[in-house]
Amino acid sequence: MYEIFQKYLEDKATLTLAESDYIKSFAIIKKLRKRQYLLQEGDIWKYDAFITQGCLRTYSVDEKGSEHVNSFSIENWWTGDRESLMFQQPSRFNIDAIEDSELVLFTHDNFELLCREIPAFNTMVNTILQKSFIAAQNRIQASLSLTAEEKYLNFIHKYPGFASRIPQTMIASYLGMTPETLSRIRKLTAKK
């Protein structure tokens, strides 16, 4: 499992063998079964987490019991609750496994240490954070300006493999629509 993360590092940063070994020395391997939580609302998130296998979702539950999916994360992506991590406050989110999943975790203190001591690692992390910020901006813009059909088409264009891995109800929640609306849109787009 760590080998997948090692390959990711090799693709994203130029590291010496000593730096790679140093990063590995802080890694914590975590396996989740389908539906198992990585984080529950009210807990404080303490890690930087990289997914080597599987699919997770980040979501909240409102006072009526409705789920609101914030994001999905798959292999070679990072996940977690940045707000809870940075401010050490109870999370508003749950993160659970949609599929059996495997992750490489770093305590945030160790992750920060790696960023300070390995410039190439720090540069990689900053690039990831910038791309994440841009993705969040694009998601907000799409949710404000696109029709329901455009949101769905945009979703399957950006994330072609997700539709076969993620239940329809979760995709509908992510797109801010009912499962019935999503079903109708899927039927319409299939006919085009």
Predicted model pTM? 0.92
In this prediction, residues 30-34 reach a mean pLDDT of 98
pLDDT score recorded for residue 190: 80
Q: Is residue 171 over pLDDT 90?
A: yes
Instruction: Report long-range pairs for 126-132 (Cβ below 8 Å, ≥24 apart).
Output: 127/12, 128/78, 132/78
Q: How confident is the model over 163-178, as a mean pLDDT?
A: 94
Could you tell me what percent of the chain has a pLDDT over 90? 94
Predicted local distance difference test score (pLDDT) of residue 8: 96
Q: How far apart are CA 30 and CA 10, in angstroms?
A: 21
Residue type, position 96, single letter: D
Per-chain mean pLDDT for the chain: 95
Torsion of CA 131, 137, 140, 143, to 10 degrees: -70
